[in-house]
C-alpha cells in the first residue's frame, strides 16, 4: 500500500506541472508599450546672392576644372557670374562658322569652336544650353525670355551692314534638373512647338509655374534643329547678333 500511494502522488505532481505549463502558454500577452515622438525642421526663404557656378549638364556632379572650359566647343565662355537668388548662370554662344554661299538661301547648323574661339567646320558635339538657378525657396515661378538687339544680325566690320532676313531657330527645348532628386515641378517650353524663332520682340522660351523650377535647371536646345537660315541676296562678310536673355520672377496676382 505504501508503494501505491507514492505512485499516485508522483502522477498527481506530473499532471499539476502540465496544467500549469498549459495555463502559462495560453495566457493573454502583455499589451505592447507605445510612444509618439515628433521631428521638426524649417526652411528659410532664400537670400543667397552668391553666383551659382555653371556645370556640365551631361555630368552635373562632376567638379569643374577652372583651367578648362565648361564646353570645349565654346572655350571662351566661363559663365555669367550673375548673382542670385534668381539667376542665369550660363548661356551657350552659337557660332555658325564661315560658309559657302552661292546666292541661294542656305540653312546652316552650329559649328564647334577651336581653342582660340574660331569656328571650325565640325558640327558641335553637344546641345546649346542655358543654366538657371532659383534659390528663393518660395515656389513662385519664373519666366525665361530672349530677343535680339534692335540691330539684329549686323556686320562686324563697323559698318553695321545687316544680314537681311536671317532667321535663327533654337532647337527643340528640354529641361533637366541638376539634382536628380529635385522634387519641384519641371519647367516647360510654352506652346505646342518646342522650337523658337528669335526676333527683336522678347518671347518666352521657358517657364516655371507654382512650385516648379526650384533649384538649378538646364534648358537644352537640340543641336540638330538649331539652325540659321540666310536668304538669298546677302553680301559676303562676318556678321554677329546679340541675344538678350531675361530670367524674371512671375508677378504676384
Residues facing residue 111 across a β-bridge: 123
Q: Please state the rounded mean pLDDT for residues 128-156.
A: 95
pTM of the complete model = 0.83
Q: Please state the rounded mean pLDDT for residues 203-214.
A: 95
Do 147 and 245 form a contact (C-beta atoms < 8 A)? Answer: no
CA atoms of 194 and 50, how far apart (whole Å): 32
Where does 86-249 sit in CATH, by number? 2.60.40
CA atoms of 6 and 1, how far apart (whole Å): 9
CA atoms of 30 and 23, how far apart (whole Å): 15
Do 182 and 134 form a contact (C-beta atoms < 8 A)? Answer: no
pLDDT reading at 253 higher than 90: no
pLDDT reading at 97 higher than 60: yes
What pLDDT, in 10s, does the model give residues 68-87? Answer: 888 887 888 999 999 999 99
pLDDT reading at 9 higher than 70: no
Domain boundaries, the chain: 86-249
pLDDT of residue 121: 80
Amino acid at each position: 500500500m505504501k508503494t501505491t500511494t507514492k505512485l499516485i502522488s508522483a502522477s498527481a505532481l506530473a499532471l499539476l506541472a502540465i496544467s500549469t505549463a498549459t495555463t502559462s502558454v495560453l495566457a493573454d500577452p502583455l499589451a505592447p508599450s507605445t510612444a509618439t515622438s515628433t521631428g521638426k525642421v524649417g526652411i528659410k526663404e532664400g537670400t543667397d546672392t552668391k553666383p551659382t557656378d555653371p556645370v556640365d549638364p551631361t555630368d552635373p556632379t562632376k567638379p569643374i576644372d577652372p583651367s578648362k572650359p565648361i564646353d570645349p566647343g565654346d572655350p571662351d565662355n566661363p559663365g555669367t557670374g550673375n548673382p542670385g537668388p534668381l539667376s542665369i548662370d550660363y548661356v551657350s554662344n552659337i557660332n555658325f562658322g564661315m560658309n559657302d554661299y552661292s546666292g541661294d538661301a542656305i540653312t546652316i547648323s552650329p559649328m564647334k569652336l577651336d581653342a582660340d574661339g574660331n569656328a571650325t567646320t565640325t558640327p558641335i558635339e553637344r546641345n546649346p544650353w542655358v543654366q538657371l538657378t532659383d534659390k528663393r525657396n518660395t515656389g513662385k515661378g519664373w519666366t525665361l525670355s530672349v530677343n535680339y538687339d534692335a540691330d539684329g544680325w549686323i556686320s562686324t566690320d563697323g559698318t553695321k551692314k545687316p544680314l537681311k532676313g536671317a532667321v535663327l531657330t533654337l532647337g527643340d527645348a528640354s529641361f533637366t534638373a541638376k539634382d536628380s532628386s529635385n522634387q519641384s515641378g519641371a519647367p516647360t517650353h510654352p506652346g505646342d512647338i518646342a522650337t523658337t524663332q528669335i526676333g527683336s520682340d522678347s518671347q518666352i522660351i521657358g517657364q516655371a509655374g507654382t512650385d516648379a523650377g526650384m533649384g538649378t535647371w538646364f534648358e537644352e536646345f537640340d543641336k540638330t534643329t538649331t539652325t540659321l537660315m540666310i536668304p538669298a541676296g546677302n553680301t559676303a562678310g562676318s556678321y554677329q547678333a546679340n541675344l538678350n536673355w531675361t530670367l524674371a520672377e512671375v508677378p504676384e496676382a
